Each structure stands twice: as structure tokens, then as C-alpha cells.
Structure 1
Amino acid sequence: MPETIDSEVTVEKTPAYFVSKTAPARVHSFNSTIKLIVVVRNPITRAISDYTQTISKKRRSAIFPSFEEMVLGNSSTNAIGMKDGVNASWGAIRIGIYHKHIRKWLQYFPLHQIHFVDGERLITNPAMEIRAVERFLSIKPGKDSFLSRFFAFVQTENALI
């Protein structure tokens, strides 16, 4: 973590911490009074986004199961963690089972030290979400003109995510 002075707030963003089995204890031992911000999205939207990012990084010639095959476990390589008809062992699904991850964090941190940001609202109304984060962190709010000028949602045609 970078060194900061008392009037500054240090923010570290690593999505993998949220789903890590060991991160809650490690973070707690580092600073038990830390404030945590968790950005969550609709789990289905999140899984689709994860899948499309994975596909975009694969070679064009690579054969990759469809999203449906991954979710429903119809792929012979991806049917080991079926739960209620859904392949819960697939990382894109497993990450979106938020209650399992949150439960681990609540073993170390009280709920008042955790702020949940609605990922969809962060996209459509970023100023409102930033204001809520500012209040949670007890930092002086930015100027309205700054938020309205630099944070906006622009709907694009044919956008899936």
C-alpha cells in the first residue's frame, strides 16, 4: 500500500480479494478497522461479462463451449459442480454467489465497515453512488459541478452489458 498522509484516503482495488478464502483474515490482520467497498452486479450480467471477456482473449481458432454449455454444464469438461441445474463450479457463476463470499468477510468485519455499491447504478447514476461512497468513507463530498461534468451514463445502441 502506498504511504499517505492523514488527510488522504488510500484505496486498493483487487476484485480477487472478495472471493479469496484467505483474504478476509489477512486484511483483518493488516487493519481490523479498514472500510471495505464491495461492488456487486446482477450475477447473470456479471457472468455474461466474464464469459465475453474470456472469449475475447482466446485465439479465434480455439473451440470454446457456449455460454449455455458452461452455465448448464453441458460441456463434458465443465459439468462437475452441478447445483439445481446450474454449473456452480464454473468461476463466472461461483463468483456471483455473493452470499458465500460475504459470509466469510462478516466473520472478520462488522457490517458497518462494509459498503455495497450497486454496479448497475454505478453505471447509470455514478454521482449518486460516489456520494454514498464519500459518506461511507467520511470524506468531504466533491463539488456537484465536478460530478455532473465528469461522471455520466451514455446508453449505446445494441449494448448488452
Structure 2
Amino acid sequence: MKDIDFLIIGATKSATTWLQRSLQADPLVSMPSPELHYFSREFSKGDDWYLSQFPPRADTLTAGEKSNSYLEDPEAADRIASKLPDVKLVVQLRNPVERAYSDYCMWYRRGEVGRDVESYLDPRSSRNARFVSLGLYGRQLRAFYDRFPSDHILVTFYEAVLTEPEQHLATVRSFLGLPAEQSVSFIPGKVKDKSTPMLRPGLRRLFRPAKSVVAPFRDNPFFRKVHAAFATEIRYSPFPDSVRQRLTDHYAPDVEELGRLIGRDLTAWLHRPAGRRTVASRISSAEVLRET
């Protein structure tokens, strides 16, 4: 366990997969591709199972893994502190209001939720608590700051991935102790783009029982051709301004707590920006590293 150097612990829908794949492009970094969820959902499997998930030679490289469930699971911080007391933690956050809608869109294209956005994202009566609760970063991060020194925690922002991806990745690499002279390679564009053509939610629900059966054939040219014939760009329900404002008000106390915790002014998250551009995009990952 002492060979595990870092964990990317969340948040969900904050471009953590982009960060993972960009780090995996470096031959000095060893990361398993799937999320292991060991310190949250799979802890009963034991350390031997966990370590067996890492690629060979992981102990000779900078080794880490990404599991977004660690940030949201109330037991994960204790388990990580017990097993990996010296580990470095990377936390990538996103405006919680925008994160909630993105999470809803993901579940909609999977066919898991309906088109009524308000019934899922209104904090007064959400039909799925995860959409709202996963954005309470202050509450979630407090558990980690209580157990780890602040210089072992790097807080970065999704918005910086959009505006300065190369600098953003360089900031994370510096935190992990990777050599600056190493060529920084990052994945251009989004890893998971909600505009990518997919099966309509109704078809996904219809074929869900066969998901495990067809999974091994996904890379088969014939399968991909058939899939492409039925795939289409998903049309999502718009995000009502009234629901957006209720979420903003709901998150305001937690955003203020988070700002105090990491020493950042995050009030831009609490104001609707002019046009569609997010004010929080001005937050630079390099500035965050200096502040924390």
C-alpha cells in the first residue's frame, strides 16, 4: 500500500476522466483504467484485491487511481487515512449547479431518469438525492482536511480544464512530483461529450437486460456499424432558470464553507454569469496551487 502515491477523489462530472487519461499518457505514471471504488464500495474485498488491480511495475512508477465516489462516501476519508496516510489527494471541482445538471443529463441519456428536470434537481423535492447532495463539496472535503495535511490536498477546477488545459495538467503534475521537463500531454476536448450520438434513452432501457451480453462485442466493426445506425444526438430538457436559482440558493452556505476551507473566493458560483459563460472559469488551477 505504501507504493500508492496519489488518489483522484472527485468530483463526479468534473472532468476527472480527462485528468486520469492525460496522466496515463505519461510512461512514468501507473493508473488502472476502471474506477476501483475500493475505499468506498469495495472495501470488503481487501488490500490484496486492491493492489492486484494496478498494472505491473506500478511500484516502480508514480502510482495512483481515480474513484469519484471517495469524495462523496462518508467512510472513505477514514479508510484512506488509515491505509494511505501519506497519499496525495487531487480534488477537481465544478460549479455545483452546473455539475448537478450535467449529472442529470448523464443519467437521462442512460435511460435512468425522465425529462422533467425540476422533479430531479429541485432541492425541495428531488426524486434522486444524488443530483443535489454530490455538490456539497464543503461538507465532503472537510472530512479530508480533518485527516490530511493541507499540502497533501490539491483542489483544482473543471473550468480551468476548459480555458487552460495544458497549464492545468502541469499544475497537477507538479503537485504529484512528476518532472517538469517531461513532455506534458493532455487529451484534447472532452472525454465524455453529451452531444456524442447515442441510443435514445427508450432504446437503452429496452436493451439494458442484454448489456452484459453485448459488452464484449462493442469493438466489433459490425456491432459498431449497427450501433451507429440507431444512434442519434440526444435532446435534453433545458435547465429552467427557477430551478437553477433554487439550487444556487441551496448551495450558497456550503460554497461559503468551501471557500473558507481552501482559502478561495468562490462567490462567482453564486451568480448567474452574463450569457452562457461561467464566471468560475476565471479560476486558475495555478492560482489554486499557490493558495493551497
Per-residue deviation, residues 8-62 of structure 1 (Å, max 9, x unmatched): 1112100001111111111111110100001111111111110001111117xxx
Question: CA shift at 1:128, angstroms?
Answer: 0.8
In the aligned structure 2, how far is the partner of 1:42 from the partner of 1:119?
Answer: 8
Q: Find the partner of 2:138 among 85, 89, 99.
A: 99
Unpaired segments of 5 or more residues in structure 1?
Answer: 79-88
How many percent of aligned residue pairs carry the same amino acid? 23
Per-residue deviation, residues 71-100 of structure 1 (Å, max 9, x unmatched): 22576x73xxxxxxxxxx721111111001
Q: Find the partner of 1:128 among 167, 187, 197.
A: 167
Contact 2:91 2:156 in 1 (8 A): yes
Unpaired segments of 5 or more residues in structure 2?
Answer: 1-50, 196-275, 277-292
- Aligned partner of 2:290 in structure 1 is none
In the aligned structure 1, how far is the partner of 2:124 from the partner of 2:84?
Answer: 44
- Aligned partner of 1:21 in structure 2 is 74
Q: Find the partner of 1:52 among 105, 108, 126.
A: 105
**1:33 alignment partner, SS class:** coil
**Cα-Cα RMSD:** 2.8
**Alpha carbons of structure 1 residues 103 and 52: separation in structure 2 relative to 1, 3 Å:** same
**2:99 alignment partner, SS class:** helix
In the aligned structure 2, how far is the partner of 1:91 from the partner of 1:117?
Answer: 22
**Alpha carbons of structure 1 residues 99 and 74: separation in structure 2 relative to 1, 3 Å:** closer
Total equivalences in the alignment: 139
**Alpha carbons of structure 1 residues 5 and 73: separation in structure 2 relative to 1, 3 Å:** closer
Q: Counterpart of 2:139 in structure 1: which amino acid?
A: K
**Alpha carbons of structure 1 residues 74 and 114: separation in structure 2 relative to 1, 3 Å:** closer
**TM-score, normalised by the number of residues in structure 2:** 0.43
More helix by share: 2
In the aligned structure 1, how far is the partner of 2:82 from the partner of 2:124?
Answer: 42
Runs of 4+ in 1 over 3 A off after TM superposition: 150-154
